[in-house]
């Protein structure tokens, strides 16, 4: 342990980052920017080749920072998993999606563990960062590794920890570097090494007593968002029934300086975290015969939102004696949230798919997303012009990207349904808000 601690301290330790996506690439670039030599691992040869050419593909990484790290020989990438053996510290940032019936899909973590069983060596620090259910680090990573190396003792020969990734893509203030990091190891020695490693590049680092505690920190954070968004969505439906403006109420409630945090309604949840992570916890608790009612109810409310929006569109068209079938609907924004290019789990796609299935002619504009797959077909982003807006029966705002000229939308659209309050501050036009 002392030797690895000294090598981390002196920045001589070679850092490996496994999975170079939205989470892994910013982390790899950060270690390199802080003076560590970093070897990135990915199954995508295209991604590895891009990095080795100094080409960036993640918005939260600055092109010039990536190029500088590669040119300085501090950052490189490979698909050759045998090179895991070269690294002294490894952070694992592979996907943890859901299967078809909302059960955890740990296949990416399992694939990494298969490689670690072959190439991990004594003296390494292994940190899992992928969001997952409580118990994963011990049961799915440490146990199989030790089964292959019965001579190892955790905390003496090999060091294993969990540290939840907290990336918030496109956040202008909080990046990997200044978002506090939580770490919990299998043993106190594991926690201490992981704390030391991350404290060299991220401030502050907060240690917790176990890997399971660290896993649950992430699940508490993201379930908190999921549940509160569900309440904002249900509250929006309540307000609609009562004929009052939910956005005005949230704005007014936000003036309270304590005891209230604003969450906003929308067409549903999206992205690789908020809709998914609570399901990992719910699955684990079902297995322990303790179903989480909060998660189940929130999921029902949130996953019903796309259908609620479709209904709102139908009602709005109906007011103008227009049938949904055959109508032209221009959708603004398909990314799962503002100012990102990520459409994973985007509720916009669910809304558009349901509208299309009911016979509407769907098109979209998204300054961040050039094309999408909808109903098995590729659809390209339309240029946003007065003619495009005026030629549609209804404009449906599904994502509130900055930089869209919403006043032009108000001035030219025949009818707008706004699920994000993006049209606030515009004048004129016929606007129905969620």
Ligand X SMILES: NC(=O)c1ccc[n+]([C@@H]2O[C@H](COP(=O)([O-])OP(=O)(O)OC[C@H]3O[C@@H](n4cnc5c(N)ncnc54)[C@H](O)[C@@H]3O)[C@@H](O)[C@H]2O)c1
Q: Of the listed 89, 93, 273, 331, which one is catalytic?
A: 273
- 152-190: buried (b, 16+ CB within 10 Å) or exposed (e) per residue? bebbeebbbbbbbbbbbbbeeeebbeeeebbbbbbbebb
Map residues 220-259 to x or -, x wherever contact with ligand X holds by CB under 6 A.
Answer: ----------------------------------------
Asked if 337 is part of the footprint of ligand X (rule: CB under 6 A), the reply reads no
41, 5 Cβ separation under 8 angstroms: no
Shortest Cβ 218–ligand X spacing (Å): 7
> 36, 41, 133, 247: which one contacts ligand X (CB under 6 A)?
41
Active site residue 273: yes
Asked if 275 is part of the footprint of ligand X (rule: CB under 6 A), the reply reads no
Residue 52 CB neighbours (<10 A): 14
Question: What one-character-per-residue DSSP string does 217-282 give?
Answer: HHHHHHHHHHHHHHHHHHHHHHHHHHT--HHHHHHHHTT-SSS-------S---SSSTTTHHHHHH
Q: What is the CA radius of gyration of the chain?
A: 24
> 47, 200, 401, 420: which one contacts ligand X (CB under 6 A)?
47
Query: Among 309, 363, 366, 313, which Cα is nearest to 343's?
Result: 366
Query: Among 23, 124, 50, which Cα is nearest to 83's?
Result: 124
Asked if 22 is part of the footprint of ligand X (rule: CB under 6 A), the reply reads yes
Asked if 112 is part of the footprint of ligand X (rule: CB under 6 A), the reply reads yes
Query: Among 229, 269, 230, 285, which Cα is nearest to 104's?
Result: 285
Residue 58 vs residues 20, 135, 170, 339, 341: alpha-carbon distances, Å = 9, 30, 10, 13, 10
Q: Which is nearer to ligand X, 131 or 392 (CB)?
A: 131
Shortest Cβ 122–ligand X spacing (Å): 22
Asked if 21 is part of the footprint of ligand X (rule: CB under 6 A), the reply reads yes
Point out the residue whose Cβ comes nearest to ligand X.
21
Asked if 91 is part of the footprint of ligand X (rule: CB under 6 A), the reply reads no
246, 263 Cβ separation under 8 angstroms: no
- Which structure tokens are listed for 349? 């796609």
What are the start-end ranges of the E strands in 86-244?
Answer: 89-92, 125-128, 159-162, 181-185, 205-207
Determine the size of the site formed for ligand X (CB under 6 A).
Answer: 27
Asked if 44 is part of the footprint of ligand X (rule: CB under 6 A), the reply reads yes
Q: Which is nearer to ligand X, 20 or 28 (CB)?
A: 20
CA distance 388 to 399: 18
Residue 269 vs residues 213, 222, 223, 265, 380: alpha-carbon distances, Å = 26, 12, 12, 10, 23
Shortest Cβ 397–ligand X spacing (Å): 23
Asked if 216 is part of the footprint of ligand X (rule: CB under 6 A), the reply reads no
Map residues 161-180 to x or -, x wherever contact with ligand X holds by CB under 6 A.
Answer: ----xxx-x-----------
> 4, 13, 15, 18: which one contacts ligand X (CB under 6 A)?
18
Q: Which is nearer to ligand X, 35 or 148 (CB)?
A: 148
Q: Which is nearer to ligand X, 98 or 297 (CB)?
A: 98
Asked if 84 is part of the footprint of ligand X (rule: CB under 6 A), the reply reads no
- CB under 6 A: which stretch of 41-49, 238-246, 315-323, 400-408 binds ligand X? 41-49
Give the residue numbers annotated as catalytic, written as ranges: 273
Which residues of the shown chain bind ligand X in the complex (CB under 6 A)? Answer: 18-24, 41-44, 47, 93-96, 108, 111-112, 130-131, 165-167, 169, 272-273
């Amino acid at each position: 342990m002392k030797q690895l601690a000294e090598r981390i301290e002196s920045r001589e330790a070679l850092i490996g980052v496994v999975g170079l996506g939205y989470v892994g690439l910013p982390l790899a670039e950060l270690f390199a920017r802080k003076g560590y030599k970093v070897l990135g691992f990915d199954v995508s040869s295209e991604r590895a080749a891009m990095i080795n050419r100094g080409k960036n593909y993640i918005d939260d990484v600055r092109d010039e920072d990536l190029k500088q790290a590669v040119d300085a020989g501090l950052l490189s990438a490979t698909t050759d998993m045998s090179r895991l053996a070269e690294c002294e510290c490894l952070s694992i940032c592979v996907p943890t999606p859901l299967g078809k019936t909302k059960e955890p899909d740990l296949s990416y973590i399992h694939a990494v563990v298969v490689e670690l069983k072959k190439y991990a060596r004594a003296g390494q620090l292994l940190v899992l960062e992928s969001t997952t259910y409580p118990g994963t680090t011990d049961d799915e990573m440490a146990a199989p590794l030790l089964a292959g190396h019965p001579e190892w003792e955790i905390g003496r020969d090999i060091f294993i920890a969990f540290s939840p990734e907290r990336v918030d893509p496109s956040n202008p203030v909080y990046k990997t570097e200044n978002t506090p990091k939580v770490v919990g190891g299998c043993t106190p020695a594991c926690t201490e090494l992981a704390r030391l490693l991350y404290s060299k590049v991220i401030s502050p680092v907060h240690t917790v007593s176990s890997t399971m505690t660290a896993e649950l920190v992430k699940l508490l954070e993201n379930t908190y968002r999921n549940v509160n968004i569900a309440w904002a969505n249900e509250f929006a439906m309540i307000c609609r029934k009562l004929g009052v403006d939910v956005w005005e109420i949230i704005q007014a409630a936000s003036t309270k300086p304590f005891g209230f945090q604003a969450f906003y309604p929308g067409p549903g949840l999206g992205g690789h975290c908020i809709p998914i992570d609570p399901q990992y916890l719910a699955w684990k608790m079902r297995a322990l015969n303790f179903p989480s009612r909060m998660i189940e109810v929130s999921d029902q409310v949130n996953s019903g939102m796309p259908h609620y929006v479709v209904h709102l569109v139908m009602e709005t068209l109906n007011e103008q004696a227009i049938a949904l079938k055959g109508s032209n609907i221009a959708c603004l924004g398909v990314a799962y949230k503002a100012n990102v290019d990520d459409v994973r789990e985007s509720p916009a796609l669910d809304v558009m798919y349901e509208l299309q299935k009911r016979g509407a002619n769907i098109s979209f504009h998204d300054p961040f997303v050039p094309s999408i797959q909808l109903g098995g077909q590729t659809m390209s982003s339309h240029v946003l012009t007065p003619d495009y807006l005026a030629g549609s029966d209804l404009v449906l705002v599904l994502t509130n990207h900055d930089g869209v000229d919403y006043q032009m939308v108000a001035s030219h659209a025949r009818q707008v349904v706004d699920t994000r309050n993006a049209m606030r501050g515009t004048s004129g036009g016929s606007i129905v808000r969620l």
